[in-house]
């Protein structure tokens, strides 16, 4: 039986940071001081910093303290979208957040994973799309390659491993459809 061999030569050909080592290092410093530390409580300043590093951010975006964003140049955020405290956007691939999206506290959007069937444990990446009006509850984990459909709700602590349907509520691990979202 074969065994996993975690070596530096594992295949990561699908992955490209999309920036120079200098830009990545600068972002790491800015992110450490102003985003992950919680020292900057002003959302408008955080959004300006994201834009300076290549994030496409719409109007009246709110970013709370203690947020960890891997690469802002691989992030687009629509108008009136909120990113809650402690959220992690591990965007090795593009992450697109639509208009009026709510990411509650401690969400994790993960665009990368490993191929556990290969001895080399190769990396693969796939984008995440969160469409307009979706609400991702606190401590939700979104897997690589997922589309959260328009106005879908993912409830507290759920794990999304499949694409969702519009105006539908999901719950659990793995998350399953539990109801319809009706907005009055």
Indicate if the pLDDT at residue 8 is higher than 80.
no
Task: State the pLDDT at residue 16.
Answer: 86
User: In the beta sheet, which residues pair with residue 129?
Assistant: 96, 147
Q: What is the mean pLDDT of residues 147-170?
A: 98
DSSP 15: -
CB 131 within 8 A of CB 98: yes
Give the CATH number of domain 21-180; options: 3.90.180.10, 3.30.70.3270, 1.10.10.10, 2.160.10.10. Answer: 2.160.10.10
Q: What are phi and psi of 65, to 5 degrees?
A: -65, 165
Domain spans of the chain, in order of start: 21-180
The model's confidence at residue 10, banded by pLDDT at 50, 70 and 90, is: low
More confident site: 121 or 48: 48
Q: Is residue 130 exposed (0-12), middle (13-18) or buried (19+ Cβ within 10 Å)?
A: buried
Task: State the pLDDT at residue 27.
Answer: 97
Please give the Cα distance from 118 to 134 (Å, whole number). Answer: 35
Residues in the chain: 184
Q: What are phi and psi of 33, to 5 degrees?
A: -80, -45
């Amino acid at each position: 039986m074969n065994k996993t061999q975690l070596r530096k030569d594992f295949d990561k050909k699908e992955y490209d940071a999309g920036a120079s080592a200098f830009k990545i290092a600068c972002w790491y410093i800015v992110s450490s001081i102003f985003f992950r530390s919680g020292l900057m409580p002003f959302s408008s300043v955080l959004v300006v910093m994201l834009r300076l590093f290549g994030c496409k951010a719409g109007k009246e975006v709110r970013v709370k303290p203690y947020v960890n964003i891997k690469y802002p140049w691989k992030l687009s955020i629509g108008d009136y979208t909120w990113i809650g405290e402690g959220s992690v956007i591990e965007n090795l691939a593009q992450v697109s957040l639509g208009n009026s999206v709510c990411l509650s506290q401690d969400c994790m959007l993960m665009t990368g994973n490993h191929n556990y069937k290969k001895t080399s444990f190769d990396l693969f990446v796939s984008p995440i799309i969160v469409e307009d009006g979706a609400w991702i509850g606190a401590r939700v984990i979104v897997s690589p390659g997922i589309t959260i459909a328009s106005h879908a709700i993912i409830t507290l602590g759920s794990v999304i491993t499949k694409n969702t349907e519009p105006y539908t509520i999901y719950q659990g691990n793995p998350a399953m459809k539990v109801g319809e979202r009706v907005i009055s």
